[in-house]
Amino acid sequence: MIERVPGFNELARLATKFYQQRLINDVKSDGRVPKHVGIILDGNRRFAREAGMPTWAGHASGAEKLEEVLEWCREVGIKHVTVYAFSTENFGRPREEVEALMDMFAEKFKKIARDGRVRRHKIRVRVIGDRSNLPKRVIDAIGEAEGATSGYDGFSLNIAVGYGGRAELVDAIRKVCERVERGELKPEEVDEQLIASHLYTAGTPDPDLIIRTSGEERLSGFLLWQSAYSELYFCEAHWPSFSKMDFLRAIRTYQSRERRFGR
């Protein structure tokens, strides 16, 4: 087989590296790098199953992949990333899996609070979603991460945990109704901008591009309001297998589209 030819693997590696660098240059030179990218991290369990690993190992691999992808985002100039890590529906998964995920979240958020890369690149971390069903250890770790990064403005990372798009809209509308009831607002003052200011992502621009891995082609409740005019990109690779080439192709596909915003 050709793979057995001496030096073949090294040549293939160099060719891949060359092509990646060319794609990076194309992405940067295009000038239309998305400001905000949303990512639905799908396929951790399928990746683990196909590799003969336990489910928790798939989630661990997915967490490592996220760190890689954030580096790629910064490399091409993306300023905001929102990732769908754990939905409200995910609480219905087997108890052992949910507990393992909660342990991982607690560990990762504590790590963020003291991570030198986070300080160096001034990455602000916010967790969006309903925290009422999260264990105290996770809520405390989230507080550490958000507190340690609250003053940073170099890059923003929103992590959706215990998140549901419909629940977010209900929460926003409830807050607006409470303000109307208190006399702070008149009903005729309620508009799109006001509702957007009460969403979990308030202060972050709407996503230009949403990427979903593992072959599923739906949003599953992710950023329902904010994604009204987002470009969507669906990738077959499971999240832990998502490669830099997959990422760059997603950005190039975004750049090739003409965004009309309903016009």
pLDDT averaged over consecutive 10-residue blocks of the chain (263 residues)? 64 76 82 95 97 96 97 96 97 96 97 95 97 97 98 97 97 97 96 97 97 96 97 98 95 91 73
Residues 102, 108: Cα–Cα separation, whole Å: 10
Residues 117, 126: Cα–Cα separation, whole Å: 16
pLDDT at 18: 77
Residues 175, 158: Cα–Cα separation, whole Å: 21
pLDDT at 2: 53
Give the Å distances, CA to CA, from 14 to 9, 11, 68, 243. Answer: 9, 5, 20, 16
Average pLDDT over all residues of the chain: 94
pLDDT in tens, 84-104: 999 999 999 999 999 999 999
pLDDT in tens, 183-205: 999 999 999 999 999 999 999 99
Alpha-carbon torsion, ordered 215, 130, 78, 253, to 10 deg: 20
List the domains of the chain with CATH numbers.
32-255 (3.40.1180.10)
Q: What b/e sequence results for 187-216 when a residue is b if at least 16 CB atoms lie within 10 Å of its CB, and e otherwise? A: eeeeeeeebeebbbbeebebbbbbbbbbee
Known catalytic residue at 246 = no
pLDDT at 14: 79
Q: One of 30, 90, 103, 246 is an active-site residue; which one?
A: 90
Known catalytic residue at 158 = no
pTM of the model: 0.91
pLDDT at 54: 95
Helix (H) or strand (E) holding 199: none
Please say whether the dihedral angle defined by the alpha carbons of residues 156, 71, 135 and 59, taken in this order, is positive or negative. Answer: positive
Q: One of 9, 25, 42, 206 is an active-site residue; which one?
A: 42
